[in-house]
Every structure is written in C-alpha cells, then in structure tokens.
A = this chain, B = another copy of it.
Amino acid sequence: MERKEISNAVIKRLPRYHRYLGELMESGVERISSNDLSEKMNVTASQIRQDLNNFGGFGQQGYGYNVEYLYNEIAKILGIDRQNNMIIIGGGNFGQALTNYSNFERRGFMIQALFDVSPDRIGKSVRGIKTLDMKNLEEFLSGHHIDIAVLTVPKSTAQEVADRLIACGIKAIWNFAHLDLKVPDDVVVENVHLSESLMQLSYRISEKRDKEGSGQNS
C-alpha cells in the first residue's frame, strides 16, 4: 500500500471509526450514510469524508458506506488485519491487567510472554501466559518474532529496558512508564501516561469550578 503522510488527529480517529463500524456490524447494519455515521459518532459528516479520503474514500455517492467493507479496510490501514505478537515487560498489576484483557487478542494482538525480575512472579502464568525471567529476555527474543514490547516497569528502569529491547531488534514500544523514552528514529513509541490523562481531567474540573465561581455560564 502506498501511503501519504497522515496527520496525528486522523490516526487517532481511525480506531474510533473501527469501533463504531464493528458495533454496527454486530447489530446487523450493512450500509450507512456519512450523515448517519456522523450523528452516531458525534463527528461532522464532512470530517468523516475528509478523514476517509486520506485513504482513497471508500464511500459511494447516494449509497454511503458498506459497513463491513469499510470496517475491513480500516483494519488494514490500522495494521490489525494481521497478527501482532507482543511481550509485556513488568508482571505487576498493570502487566497482569493487560494480559487479562482479552479484547487485544480479538484485534490480533497476541501476548507471547510476560517478563519480570521478581522471583515471586517468575514461573507463574497469567491466563496461560508464562512469566519469564528478565535475565532471559535476549535469549527469548532471539528465538521469537515479537512486534511490540509493552513497558509497565518503573520509570527508573524503563530507559535501560527499552535499550535492551531495541538492541534485540524491537521496533515498537507501548510505553506505560512515566517518562519520554529516547529511541532511534526507526523505533516507534506510543505512550500511555495515566497521570497526565488524570491531570487533564483535573484541569477540566478546575476550569469548570473557576467559571462557576466567577458567575459565568459555560
């Protein structure tokens, strides 16, 4: 597939299109107009058309979108039409929560192993997935094709772990550690900084409180 440069905002909206189209399919809807999709998703119809035009359109004048076709095309664009193998580094609560979350599998993200340094966790299984010793990371990676490494380790060791992963050829990191990793240009990182998300929420609360306090209507 040839690709042009797509803005971050569009890429962020694609999984949401995929989710809504999946729900439509589940409820037996076969086609939908951009207006109906727009109403359902609370995005303007012109935004939807613009977003999808980045990838060649998919809609037909007067017909709208074929739900299943569009769902599959967006899956291809998102790279979830194939299996992505993952390992999780850090077998604490977060690592275990992610391992237990079966929704990832339904989208082709298969967790192949957990890694931890704690003797209490090493050797134990979570949903059938083994927790391996962090010492054996390099050995494991030399024998398995892994697409994504998930980092749920403390901030203090995250960069060191990332460096080890990258040295083994890992090109994609899903980072839950609360720092900005330094990685080479050919490695992609997607951050989930939970504290920052929570602070955005508290910003909204405090913005609302100030508006109410100063007697304005928002």
Contact = CB atoms under 8 A, between A and B. Distances in A.
B172 A203 contact: no
A9 to B, nearest CB: 10
Nearest to A192: B197
A15 B195 contact: yes
The size class of the interface chain A forms with chain B is 35 or more
A209 B96 CA distance: 30
Interface stretch (A28-36, A77-85, A135-143): A77-85
Given A194-B101, A200-B190, A171 B208 contact: yes
Given A11-B200, A19-B196, A93-B93, A205 B104 contact: no
Given A171-B205, A178-B19, A208-B171, A199 B93 contact: no
B192 A204 contact: no
Interface string A138-176: 000000000110000000000000000000000110100
A55 to B, nearest CB: 11
Contacts of A174: 197-198, 201
A95 to B, nearest CB: 9
Per DSSP, chain A at the interface is: helix
Contacts of A69: none
A18 interface: yes
A18 B199 contact: yes
A148 B209 CA distance: 14
B147 A195 contact: no
A148 to B, nearest CB: 6
A103 interface: yes
A175 B131 CA distance: 29
A53 interface: no
B109 A211 contact: no
A205 B147 contact: yes
Given A3-B210, A3-B211, A19-B178, A148 B205 contact: yes
Given A19-B196, A80-B199, 10 more contacts: A16-B196, A84-B202, A93-B93, A93-B97, A97-B97, A172-B202, A172-B204, A188-B204, A188-B208, A190-B200
